[in-house]
């Protein structure tokens, strides 16, 4: 998926918002009883509503949140992938990356079995672990400057005068990949400068994590439609602060985020 396709998708939907799907059974409100059925019922209701109202351009199911529930969770993931394939972009958040042959196997899993449009990848093991994920029509987002507190442990370390995440950002241009850049740090400004604003970013951290959406939008305003801003629990569990049915609260939350973003689109 190239920049033109990403931009066209965003313009058609009128948004760059991505809905992160991270199932937490204790928070899921559903009258269904089985694990698979509860996850499907809850997220179908929300995602269907968001898509119908053109509030999202992508979904980002997090593999680990499904796998924690065993095969029931994975069957639910398959149902979600199948239901929304072709309706919105599907970014599988798997954070894969290993030696070449293992990366090839992970690549087949993500794109041939799950049918994802995009995948998150760890670049720590270098070029031969990243290249097997590169496919025509697909996109990989390499972890660059993430939104968690521990990101400082390694990503801010310097080598030859450059921070580690800055080196990853430079490689994204060379390797033709996207990047995962959290909204909780102003490092996005340096990353945009390094990449010339031409590398698509997956930007988590807005919503529940308290990322600075206005700062992010100002940083990406040169070429905003190629980027995807993700909110997961902030949308999925918006009922906790807004009340009412989860799908109504999720829609209101998404509309609020889009209203802020549209000032810069």
- Nearest by Cα to 134 from 124, 145, 144, 123: 123
CA distance 192 to 120: 19
Each residue of 41-52: pLDDT tens digit? Answer: 999 999 999 999
| Integer angstrom CA distances of residue 205 from 50, 68, 243 | 19, 22, 22
Per residue in 159-173, pLDDT tens?
Answer: 989 999 999 999 999
| 184 band by pLDDT with thresholds 50, 70 and 90 | confident
| 153 inside domain | no
Q: Specify which residues 143 forms β-bridges with.
A: 180
Q: Could you tell me if residue 188 is inside a domain?
A: no
Cα 101 to Cα 59: distance, rounded to the nearest angstrom: 28
| Sequence-ordered alpha helix ranges (H) in 56-163 | 63-67, 70-84, 100-108, 127-130
Contact 97, 125 (CB under 8 A): yes
Give the span between the Cα atoms of 192 and 200, in whole angstroms. 10
Instruction: Please tell me which residue in 27, 95, 138, 162 is annotated as part of the active site.
Output: 95
* Cα–Cα distance measured from residue 57 to residue 54, given in angstroms and rounded to the nearest whole number: 8
Q: Residue 30: what pLDDT?
A: 97
pLDDT mean across residues, the chain: 96
Percent of the residues in the chain that have a pLDDT greater than 70, as a whole number:
98
pTM over 0.85: yes
Mean pLDDT, residues 175-198: 94
Confidence of residue 205 (pLDDT cuts 50, 70, 90): confident
- pLDDT band, very low/low/confident/very high, at 240 (cuts 50, 70, 90): very high
- 95 given a catalytic annotation: yes
What span, in angstroms and rounded, lies between the C-alpha atoms of 165 and 179? 10
The answer as to whether 63 is a domain residue is: yes
Please give the Cα distance from 242 to 27 (Å, whole number).
14
Task: Report if residue 237 sits inside a domain.
Answer: yes
Domain annotation covers residue 174 = no
Cβ(143)–Cβ(95) below 8 Å:
yes
Query: What pLDDT was estimated at residue 185?
Result: 81
The reply to whether 160 falls in a domain is no
How many domains does the chain fold into? 1
Domain harbouring 106, CATH code: 3.20.20.70
Residue 185 forms part of a structural domain: no
Q: How far apart are CA 2 and CA 139, in angstroms?
A: 8
Structural domain containing residue 123: 3-136+205-261
In the prediction, which pLDDT does 265 show?
Answer: 86
Is residue 236 assigned to a domain? yes
């Amino acid at each position: 998926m190239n920049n033109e396709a990403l931009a066209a998708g965003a313009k058609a939907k009128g948004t760059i918002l991505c809905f992160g799907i991270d199932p937490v059974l204790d928070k899921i409100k559903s009258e269904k009883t089985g694990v698979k059925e509860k996850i499907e019922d809850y997220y179908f209701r929300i995602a269907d509503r968001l898509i119908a109202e053109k509030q999202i351009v992508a979904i980002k199911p997090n593999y680990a949140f499904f796998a924690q529930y065993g095969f029931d969770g994975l069957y639910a993931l398959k149902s979600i992938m199948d239901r929304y394939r072709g309706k919105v972009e599907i970014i599988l958040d798997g954070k894969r990356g290993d030696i070449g042959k293992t990366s090839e196997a992970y690549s087949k899993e993500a794109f041939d079995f799950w049918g994802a449009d995009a995948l998150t990848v760890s670049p720590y093991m270098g070029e031969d672990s990243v290249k097997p994920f590169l496919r025509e029509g697909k996109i990989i987002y390499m972890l660059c400057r993430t939104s968690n507190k521990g990101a400082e442990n390694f990503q801010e370390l310097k080598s030859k005068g450059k921070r580690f995440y800055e080196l990853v950002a430079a490689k994204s241009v060379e390797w033709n990949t996207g990047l995962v850049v959290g909204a909780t740090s102003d490092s996005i400004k340096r990353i945009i400068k390094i990449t010339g604003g031409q590398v698509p970013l997956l930007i988590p951290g807005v919503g529940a994590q308290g990322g600075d959406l206005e700062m992010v939008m100002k940083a990406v305003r040169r070429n905003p439609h190629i980027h995807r801003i993700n909110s997961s629990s902030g949308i999925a569990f918006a009922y906790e602060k807004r009340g009412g049915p989860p799908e109504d609260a999720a829609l209101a939350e998404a509309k609020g985020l889009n209203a802020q973003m549209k000032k810069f689109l």
